Amino acid sequence: MGSEFMTARHKSHCYHVYTTIGLSLTNTRTMQNYKNLRVWEGAHALVLEIYNATRSFPNDERYGLTSQIRRAAVSISSNIAEGTGRGSDADFARFVQFAVGSISEVDYQLLLARDLNYVSAEAYAALNDQLEIVRRMTIALLKKLRARSS
């Protein structure tokens, strides 16, 4: 809830809650809409491409590699989205770090899919290029958040 919508009573209550747990209102950051972040847009586009690529995986991989790579890809954008809802840059950075871990998972799982001939070398290269762009943007966001929170 933005401060422009807070009543004086609500602001007073928030001040009490924050000071009770040892925080000041000046230590909080403005919540962002994750949909406005280019890194989230890139991660979301990657998820859509991963889902498209995994449609052709063998049926016996439905609960194996297909499910794993999809979950890991979704985890990238999900962690970025969840992090924007956190109250501090340090909390946001923690979720962005989880996203970086998920990027590494997808990286390996794409390599495995290529080596098992589930995706062509060309499809692998395109997905890997897209993943590397998301990785660079995610790491840049992480560095920025860590610098602001220290």
Give residue 109's pLDDT: 98
User: What are the tens digits of pLDDT across the range 108-133?
Assistant: 999 999 999 999 999 999 999 999 99
pLDDT band at 27 (very low <50, low <70, confident <90, very high): very low
Nearest to 14 by CA among 121, 87, 78, 73: 87
Q: Report, in this order, helix, strand and coil percent for the chain, each rounded to 5.
A: 80, 0, 20
User: What are the tens digits of pLDDT across the range 47-90?
Assistant: 999 999 999 999 999 999 999 999 999 999 999 999 999 889 99
What is the reported pTM?
0.78
CATH 3.30.750.210 fits domain 31-149: no
C-alpha dihedral sign at 141, 145, 147, 148: positive
Domain borders along the chain are 1-30, 31-149
Give residue 31's pLDDT: 62
Contacts of 129 (CB under 8 A, 6+ apart): none
